[in-house]
Structure 1
């Protein structure tokens, strides 16, 4: 029923336009360029930025809308995925309906419109996770999920593209801030302290652990708080938050019924000539070697899936300790977005070490 309704919502001409724009070449934008361009957010620069986004965003959004139509194993027809596809088509229509941007007033109206698009897409990740969950419910339980390469590759592309779209929109919108925080150029902090971000992310993760379990292991952070480098604090916060949340859950569940005091989570921030590495290690028992290939897939989680608890699609954005099955793979995409990576080492019976690192020369 949902598929039939969606088909009537968009004309053939409109779908053909989506196909046309989806075939166009998108333009990459580096962190360094965004930092240099945004350092002087004059009316002229904001106008140039808006004109670029007016052409660039429809290309990126059209590509994802097209791909959402052609997913394997019937994933395209799941209600949650159809909902996400309609969000992308609605956003494409809004962008293409907006007239040519010629002056400051046009630019301001355009900025308000793309802000609304960003809000519309806030729940894309949990909604796609719900779509994958709907797919899993109808699949043979004997299927080895990490063998479903087409779905994993699509979700990697899809979520990486989403990071890029939200970064472009968020950066442009934030450049309008009349009172930006010190050393900030839009979303980018030119002197970000990874130790400070790690502390904030750890406190957030620990508060969730306390809420769920009533107690939480300690977290020890080692590194120079005065060391800084240019990066996007919200991206780093998300990565550290996810890694620490996983470690807290593993340690808490391992020592919950033990007389021993739960050992602390350790975070080490290491600065190198080319890389910055943040190591999160725990003594939560580790993952069996057979489980390691699964941890970066979107169809696997060692925790009970909280999506099972909700029948309403709108409640899929609830924050829980674990279970959606996308925390680690999406954290790795955030690390890779600006040239870094995230690696996981596990010692079964002892614990895990997860290390995102960031390329200082690729900013």
Structure 2
């Protein structure tokens, strides 16, 4: 029954995002993102509660699974390799990019392949996937009509005493400084609006390249759930750096609303 509850709610995020996009369409007049704090705060609380509930359900189901993989304690992998998970997430993002554009920039990953630390691989995969997907789209759209070779995305994994930090960089042209405050809001996306292209969202399990506007804010919530954070630094005209900080101290409380 618990497994079924988890599966039944798999499509909540894209369905909610679709609702937010339809709300944006219905508002017609020019949106003032600063004036919609109430919606953003509600969605932050809603999604953070959802992360917590799904973590509990997932942990409970995984703990009682007789075929649990080695080094796993439920959902938590005691010896997760960030390099390996980042590779898997990057390949998944590149396959989405291939499907959308017919080609995809390379992703170069730097760091110690033997380094491991305890974390939830599904959370880490989702965060890296969303970041790489955003940067792939920026690079692809910037260099699509160009004769220049497409520059690769770079991922650097750094092992600190307090944090494991993942830096994801591109040369996709960056974000204007005026747009930076909006990238963590749910009503903002630089991609074309998918609302009328995919009214059946969630029914087929197909991942869209971009457009719903929830990738970055939800990735930041996943990072903050275990005491980490996500920061975006941009050089307009050159590219964007995303810093994903994951706490390794194990002393953080659930930041539930």
**Would you call these one fold, judging by a TM-score over 0.5?**
yes
User: Aligned partners of 1:215, 1:331: CA distance in 2, in Å?
Assistant: 25
User: Aligned partners of 2:22, 2:161: CA distance in 1, in Å?
Assistant: 46
1:139 deviates by 0.6
CA-based RMSD: 1.3
- Of residues 324, 342, 355, the one that matches 2:243 is 355
> 1:331 maps to what in 2?
219
User: Aligned partners of 1:135, 1:300: CA distance in 2, in Å?
Assistant: 12
- The yes-or-no answer on 1:173 pairing with 2:58 is no
- The yes-or-no answer on 1:134 pairing with 2:22 is yes
Could you tell me whether the CA contact under 8 Å between 2:230 and 2:243 is conserved in 1? yes
Change in Cα spacing, 1:321 to 1:210, as seen in structure 2 (3 Å) is same
1:227 deviates by 0.7
- The yes-or-no answer on 1:279 pairing with 2:167 is yes
Could you tell me whether the CA contact under 8 Å between 2:87 and 2:109 is conserved in 1? yes
> 2:254 maps to what in 1?
none
Q: What is the SS of the residue equivalent to 2:227?
A: coil
User: Aligned partners of 1:139, 1:167: CA distance in 2, in Å?
Assistant: 35
Q: What is the SS of the residue equivalent to 1:152?
A: helix
- The yes-or-no answer on 1:322 pairing with 2:205 is no
- The yes-or-no answer on 1:306 pairing with 2:194 is yes
1:359 deviates by 1.1
Kindly indicate whether structure 1 or structure 2 has the higher relative contact order, using CA contacts under 8 Å at least 6 residues apart: 2
Change in Cα spacing, 1:312 to 1:176, as seen in structure 2 (3 Å) is same
Could you tell me whether the CA contact under 8 Å between 1:266 and 1:282 is conserved in 2? yes
User: Aligned partners of 1:234, 1:283: CA distance in 2, in Å?
Assistant: 27
- Of residues 125, 133, 136, the one that matches 1:245 is 133
Q: How many residues align?
A: 251
> 1:80 maps to what in 2?
none
- TM-score relative to the length of structure 2: 0.94
User: Aligned partners of 2:50, 2:231: CA distance in 1, in Å?
Assistant: 22
> 1:10 maps to what in 2?
none
Q: Pairwise mapping of residues 1-363 of structure 1 onto structure 2 (< 5 A)?
A: 113-312=1-200, 315=203, 318-362=206-250
User: Aligned partners of 1:236, 1:121: CA distance in 2, in Å?
Assistant: 20
1:316 deviates by 8.1
Change in Cα spacing, 1:195 to 1:313, as seen in structure 2 (3 Å) is closer
Larger radius of gyration: 1
Considering fraction of residues, name the structure with more helix. Answer: 1
Could you tell me whether the CA contact under 8 Å between 2:97 and 2:133 is conserved in 1? yes
Could you tell me whether the CA contact under 8 Å between 1:146 and 1:297 is conserved in 2? no
User: Aligned partners of 1:247, 1:356: CA distance in 2, in Å?
Assistant: 14
Q: What is the SS of the residue equivalent to 2:195?
A: helix
1:317 deviates by 5.1
1:145 deviates by 2.2
Could you tell me whether the CA contact under 8 Å between 1:220 and 1:265 is conserved in 2? yes
* Runs of 4+ deviating beyond 2 Å: 310-318
Note the alpha carbon deviations across 1:307-330, whole angstroms, 9 max, x for none. 221334654853111001000000
User: Aligned partners of 2:172, 2:202: CA distance in 1, in Å?
Assistant: 33
- TM-score relative to the length of structure 1: 0.67
Q: Which runs of 5+ in 1 are unaligned?
A: 1-112
Change in Cα spacing, 1:287 to 1:190, as seen in structure 2 (3 Å) is same
Could you tell me whether the CA contact under 8 Å between 1:287 and 1:347 is conserved in 2? yes
Considering fraction of residues, name the structure with more strand. Answer: 2
Q: Which runs of 5+ in 2 are unaligned?
A: 252-257
User: Aligned partners of 2:202, 2:57: CA distance in 1, in Å?
Assistant: 24
Q: What is the SS of the residue equivalent to 1:221?
A: strand
Q: What is the SS of the residue equivalent to 2:27?
A: coil
Change in Cα spacing, 1:260 to 1:237, as seen in structure 2 (3 Å) is same
1:281 deviates by 0.2
